[in-house]
Amino acid sequence: MAERTEPALLIDDLHAGTEGSDILKGVSLAVAPGEVHALMGPNGSGKSTLAKTLLASPSYVVTSGRILLKGEDITALSTEERSQRGLFLGFQHPEEFPGVTLINFLRQAISARKGIDYSVLEVRLALMDWMGRLGIDQSFMSRYLNDGFSGGEKKRTEILQLALMEPDVAVLDETDSGLDIDALRIVAGGINEVRKERADMGVLLITHYQRILGYLTPDVVHIFVDGRIVESGGMELAERLEREGYEAFREAGVS
């Protein structure tokens, strides 16, 4: 009998929302180490609420259910504690931090993640290596984090953070948002480059559209409507979505 692999990320009947209003209505999924799961849903379905709830945003309250990271219940943990344990969130709209250079931000983040006080030189060397692999200009390391960056530059910088933070699970919230086809190809290629190095990293990719799936092939596709997963399957599900739209899944509930 094959040994059972513990999920890298387990979401168990998760209900969450704002005061007096459930937005997530019983979300359950399990991402095994090394798997890519695509969560696809229309605007207003609760996809970003799920992403923010996974990283403990104070805007949303979990009313029932659990979130487990490598078997540990992290439902009650803070954003910082979840990050230190190996959960990474790529934001739909990365924030700008004027006055904070990329290298100083990463030095603090990596030191907190790994519990070691890394020197500027150590982080610089790691950055130089990954910037070369991801095709990012080395001048970025001394620029203020996301300050004045284009949408594509912000997303590529997030992939750089993903590479150096070495998480166990990456939740990527609409990483393809606002990217043209060239930028999308570069960003998806960067994610795949990190996955070569981190073969056991689980990925939960949250998106509207099928286009990124041409570059980052998922093991499982979930259709997310009205705060719940209504159907799960393989790439054929994304192809059906492209043909029929979300309305077919909304009307069918569970097909």
The tens digit of pLDDT for each residue in 191-228 reads 999 999 999 999 999 988 788 898 989 999 999 999 99
Beta strands at 36-40 and 220-225: parallel, antiparallel or unpaired: parallel
CB–CB of 54/16 below 8 Å? no
Looking at the DSSP bridge assignments, the partners of residue 199 are none
pLDDT < 70 regions, the chain: 1-4, 251-255
Strands laid side by side in the 202-207 sheet: 87-90, 169-173, 202-207, 36-40, 220-225, 228-233
C-alpha distance from residue 170 to each of 13, 14, 147 (Å): 20, 18, 23
- The CB density around residue 54, as the number of other CB atoms within 10 Å, is 26
Is 9-46+59-252 in CATH node 3.40.50.300?
Answer: yes
pLDDT given at position 211: 85
One DSSP character per residue, the chain reads: -PPPPPPSEEEEEEEEEETTEEEEEEEEEEE-TT-EEEEE--TTSSHHHHHHHHTT-TT-EEEEEEEEETTEE-TT--HHHHHHTTEEEE-SSPPPEEEEEHHHHHHHHHHHHHTS---HHHHHHHHHHHHHHHT--GGGGGSEETTT--HHHHHHHHHHHHHHH--SEEEEESTTTT--HHHHHHHHHHHHHHHHH-TT-EEEEEES-SGGGGTS--SEEEEEETTEEEEEESHHHHHHHHHH-HHHHHHHS--
Determine contact, residues 102/145, Cβ cutoff 8 Å: yes
pLDDT for residue 121? 93
Q: Exposure of 42 by Cβ count < 10 A (0-12 exposed, 13-18 middle, 19+ buried)? A: middle
pLDDT score of 253: 53
**How many CB atoms within 10 Å of residue 115?**
7
pTM of the model: 0.90
* Sequence spans of domains, the chain: 9-46+59-252
User: What pLDDT score does 153 carry?
Assistant: 84
The per-residue pLDDT for range 41-77, each reduced to its tens digit, is 998 899 989 999 998 999 999 999 999 999 999 999 9
Confidence at residue 1, expressed as pLDDT on a 0 to 100 scale:
39
CB 49 within 8 A of CB 23: yes
